[in-house]
Amino acid sequence: MANRLTKRLLLALALLAPLAAPPAFARTETIAGWRITSGGSGDGGYMARLTRRTRGWSYSHYIEYWRGNGGVVMSDEFRRGRCRSGDESAIVPLDLGTSRSSFDQRLASYLRECPLPRAEAAALRRSLARAWPRFLRQARRAEAAMAAELRAIENYGR
């Protein structure tokens, strides 16, 4: 009897599996010391994160796309020893989270607040120049996943 019940349960699970939502994409890679992570945020959104940690400093740039917030949630944090600089999470226009010029302006501000030696700051910027295109690709992928989800919701029942 237990064997028959197990078979029925497995058959039911096999039939229901295609109805389950596909898992959100997840990707992590490291380029020039920067860790780029993207995928589902765990609370219904899609995120992309750019982080780097060294002995002397750390930086985290995080963006998350959610349904219906009219933009992207963005936060930045730069730390050097006890000095911390950055912006708390805020909803900003979509393009601000992926704007390199805006990012560079914030980074310059953080480096004024928590300065690095000139050579180290230059090395940070060079490594960032190598990692940014991949981060941008992952951020756009997260944005596209959210847009696809919104279209599916819009078209539900049609």
Q: If we measure between CA atoms, which residue out of 124, 112, 129 comes closest to residue 52?
A: 124
pLDDT digits 0-9 by tens, 72-83: 889 999 999 999
Inside any domain, residue 87: yes
* Count of domains for the chain: 1
- Is 36 or 19 the better-scoring residue by pLDDT? 36
pLDDT of residue 130: 97
Do the beta carbons of residue 146 and residue 67 sit within 8 Å? yes
- Is 21 or 113 the better-scoring residue by pLDDT? 113
Inside any domain, residue 6: no
- Is 11 or 114 the better-scoring residue by pLDDT? 114
What tokens were used for 109?
Answer: 């501000």
On the question of pLDDT at 17 being above 50, the answer is no
3-state secondary structure of 147: helix
Inside any domain, residue 17: no
Work out the mean pLDDT of the chain and round it to a whole number.
83
Inside any domain, residue 36: yes
pLDDT of residue 156: 83
Inside any domain, residue 15: no
On the question of pLDDT at 5 being above 70, the answer is no
Inside any domain, residue 14: no
- Is 103 or 2 the better-scoring residue by pLDDT? 103
Compute the distance between CA of residue 82 and CA of residue 111 in angstroms, rounded to an integer: 14
3-state secondary structure of 25: coil
**Structural domain boundaries enclosing 87:** 24-155
Per-residue b or e along 33-51, where b marks 16 or more CB atoms closer than 10 Å to that residue's CB = ebbbbbbebeeebbbbbbb
pLDDT of residue 90: 82
Inside any domain, residue 107: yes
Inside any domain, residue 11: no
On the question of pLDDT at 7 being above 70, the answer is no
On the question of pLDDT at 19 being above 50, the answer is no
pLDDT digits 0-9 by tens, 94-151: 788 788 999 999 999 999 999 999 999 999 999 999 999 999 999 999 988 888 888 8
- Give the max Cα distance, the chain: 74
